[in-house]
Amino acid sequence: MRVLRVTTAVALFLGLVGLVAVADAQQCPKGKLRLYTSWPMQGAMLPEGTGMKNGVDLAVSEVNGVVAGFCLEIVSLDDASPQTGKWDGAVEAENANKAVGDPLAIVYIGTYNSGAAKVSIPITNRAHMAQVTPANTYPGLTKKRGAAPGEPEIYRPGGFVNYFRPIPADDIQGAVAAKWAKHLGVKKVFVLNDQELYGKGIADVFEATAKKIGLPVVANEGIDWKQPDQKPVLTKVRASGADLVYMGGVIETGAQVIIRQMKEVGLVAPRTRFMGPDGLLEEELLKGATCDAALGTEMRITFAGLPFEKMRGVGAKTYETYKTKYGKEPTSYALYAAEGGRVIVDAIRRAAPQIEKAKDVTEKREAVRKAIASTKNFEGINGKWSFDENGDVDYDTMSGFKIVKADGPVGCKFQFETILE
């Protein structure tokens, strides 16, 4: 009896897990191609996840879902799950494998977290499937600068580039930030990082660049971001006499605490200022850190690309379309998701003859991958750009933001200050 019950339970288990797979059957004359997306779609990440999904939808809907006779279908996957509620390597691997295993899947769009991309790129690479990210900025995914040893080759078991990002990487941002700091007249920097992939990576690039351009760096210290008390660390900063704190981190990992408590230990402008990367460019940060403290540190933030409202041409148009279509401001990476979607649509259009001729799914994917790699002079939201041999964009337009007083419930906001090259 028990064995039978176990058998039934196992069958149920297997069956229920199977429910996740969703299939619908909309027929298209020239065949169907699927675009898989994978990033966190739950919890605190839900707004950004939805924004990026909207971006991809926008790009596909611009061509009414059909390119050169092929119907495009978006399969949206969530790579956050079990143990932590954040992105999860096991789920991301599962998503990538799911895409690779689907004979209709042509391109993989994702991820949000660079750590997740490390898991999925080798999987898609083996299948010759192009992967386009709207948000990964960790340099090592595509290039040597700011990378760990062995990167990025380790992500390319096939020996070719299949991973593309229409967004500048952190090595550019970290370097630009260091130059900006020097330009602002900073004499000595104390670098902090949250010991996560993004924060530590960008902090390392900042440190290296600063040293190279002759800006002294006291230390590059990992903090325990779970601590609500960062006064001892900030006392250390004060003792060092640094006049800038550069913090590599995101809003979930405690930059609020650093900014809030800088004031408490007397680290305020003009004595000491604060600078951070675009992971901190969220209004949420100001709520936690309070405007009082943020203004006190003359907080500055770098951002990869132009602010939406400063965009011209395609960028401005996309911004307006997005707002009309979805009735709200795009999230930080929503327009880059749209950009990625357009790059893919364009590549499929150019590769359409090869796709039709292809003998198997791998050849189809290879055709699209090659077409994406050869994207040149693309009319993007930040102007014209091309993919370089690493799959990176060849522009490095960055913008610098500064905290200013503002009306409204928060009381302050980030205001565009300058374009950084």
Report, in Å, the least distance between residue 175 CB and other proteins: 19
Report, in Å, the least distance between residue 167 CB and other proteins: 20
Told to check if 155 binds other proteins by CB under 8 A, we report yes
Q: Which of residues 124-153 bind other proteins (CB under 8 A)?
A: 126-127, 140, 148-150
Report, in Å, the least distance between residue 163 CB and other proteins: 13
- Report which of 310, 291, 328 is spatially closest to residue 406, judged by C-alpha positions: 291
Binding region for other proteins (CB under 8 A) out of 17-25, 159-167, 305-313, 374-382: 17-25
Nearer to other proteins, 63 or 93 (CB): 93
How many of the other CB atoms lie within 10 Å of CB of 332? 20
Contact with other proteins (CB under 8 A): which of 232, 270, 327, 408? 232
Report, in Å, the least distance between residue 31 CB and other proteins: 17
Binding region for other proteins (CB under 8 A) out of 176-184, 247-255, 304-312, 390-398: 247-255
Vertex 149 angle, CA 145 and 151, to 5°: 65
Report, in Å, the least distance between residue 21 CB and other proteins: 5
Type of residue numbered 142: T
Nearer to other proteins, 117 or 311 (CB): 117
Binding region for other proteins (CB under 8 A) out of 172-180, 224-232, 323-331, 412-420: 224-232
Contact with other proteins (CB under 8 A): which of 17, 159, 359, 377? 17
Burial class (CB in 10 A: 0-12, 13-18, 19+), 334: buried
Report, in Å, the least distance between residue 93 CB and other proteins: 5
Contact with other proteins (CB under 8 A): which of 160, 213, 271, 292? 292
Q: Which of residues 169-198 bind other proteins (CB under 8 A)?
A: 195-197
Pairing assessment for the beta strands 70-78 and 105-109 based on DSSP bridges: unpaired
Report, in Å, the least distance between residue 188 CB and other proteins: 14
Build a one-symbol-per-residue string for 251-290: x at contacts with other proteins by CB under 8 A, - elsewhere.
xx-x-xx--xx--xxx-----------------xx-xxxx
Told to check if 25 binds other proteins by CB under 8 A, we report no
Question: How close are the terminal C-alpha atoms of the chain, in Å?
Answer: 72
Contact with other proteins (CB under 8 A): which of 107, 208, 223, 367? 223
Report, in Å, the least distance between residue 315 CB and other proteins: 29
- Report which of 166, 135, 110 is spatially closest to residue 343, judged by C-alpha positions: 166
DSSP string of 356-405, one letter each residue: HH-SSHHHHHHHHHHHHHT--SEEETTEEE-B-TTSBBS---EEEEEEEE
Nearer to other proteins, 271 or 312 (CB): 271
Q: How many residues bind other proteins (CB under 8 A)?
A: 90
Type of residue numbered 362: T
Told to check if 46 binds other proteins by CB under 8 A, we report yes
CB 357 within 8 A of CB 286: no
Q: What stretch of H or E contains 46? A: helix 46-62
- Report which of 117, 114, 75 is spatially closest to residue 92, judged by C-alpha positions: 117
Nearer to other proteins, 196 or 396 (CB): 196
- Report which of 214, 168, 142, 186 is spatially closest to residue 297, judged by C-alpha positions: 186
Q: Which of residues 61-120 bind other proteins (CB under 8 A)?
A: 78, 81-86, 88-90, 93-94, 97-98, 100-102, 115, 118-119
Bridge partners, residue 67, by sequence: 70
- Report which of 239, 240, 248, 258 is spatially closest to residue 297, judged by C-alpha positions: 258
Q: How far apart are CA 355 and CA 340, in angstroms?
A: 20
